[in-house]
Amino acid sequence: MRIDILTIFPQMFSGPFSHSIVKRAMDKGLAEIHLHDIRDYATDKHRRVDDYPFGGGAGMVMLIEPIERCIDALRAERQYDEVIYMSPDGLLLDQPFANTISTKKNLIILCGHYKGVDERIREHLITMEISVGNYVLSGGELPAAMLCDAVIRLIPGVLGDETSALSDSFQDNLLSPPVYTRPADYKGWKVPDILLSGHDRKIAEWRHEQAVERTKKRRPELL
């Protein structure tokens, strides 16, 4: 999978993409992430990417031209499955949605900032809008990093155990069951006996029961 991220703050991605599973996926050649500074596509000497909104009001709006020039340059090199805009009013990112996006080959992700992007960008250049929650952040960089992490970990070969992602929360509309590791007894806090039994079928049944119970208690709307 190749992901091209358009942003005015490319340095914000150095942390999320330099460690853990995303870094491992890139090292294995299973994922590519390319950062593009929108300012590099500005046409004036000040590398301006924003202007005042027509009709007045607070804040600035990101300009059409630098964004279109960047998208056009990328599209001239390859076909993209989606041009995604990270937006609070987009489709809510959930696990089934992440599963679907993980099957794509080439993605462009646009990170907005200020009061957002000129609406004509959304009308004519964007093919999909994604939200990470019903709240507003200062820009699309953190949501873009979240989307990349959620999607890349689902690519076959990224995780050490191919079945690991299948047991994640929300994969089957259930929260994950509780997990334990050594020691089996810590200050009298004991691991459930069933997990020490070695009986795979009964352990699987217990985990499913626990997942259902936890979901009922914490996120009943998922059931």
Per-residue pLDDT tens over the stretch 85-141: 999 999 999 999 999 999 999 999 999 999 999 999 999 999 999 999 999 999 999
**3 state DSSP class of 37:** strand
State residue 169's pLDDT score. 66
End-to-end CA distance of the chain: 32
Cβ contacts of 117-120, under 8 Å, gap ≥ 24:
117/61, 117/62, 117/64, 117/67, 117/85, 118/61, 118/62, 118/63, 118/64, 120/64
Contact by Cβ (8 Å): 23, 152: no
Residue 192, pLDDT score: 97
pLDDT tens by residue, 163-176: 566 667 677 889 99
Token pair listed for 13: 């991605």
pLDDT of 19: 93
* Angle, alpha carbons 117-121-126 (nearest 5°): 110
Angstrom CA distances, 171 to 99, 213, 215, stand at 9, 16, 12
Q: pLDDT at residue 162 above 70?
A: no
Residue ranges and CATH numbers for the domains of the chain are: 2-152 (3.40.1280.10), 172-222 (1.10.1270.20)
pLDDT, tens digit, 9 for 90 and up, residues 185-202: 999 999 999 999 999 999
Mean pLDDT rounded to a whole number for the chain: 94
Q: pLDDT for 29-61, tens place per residue?
A: 999 999 999 999 999 999 999 999 999 999 999
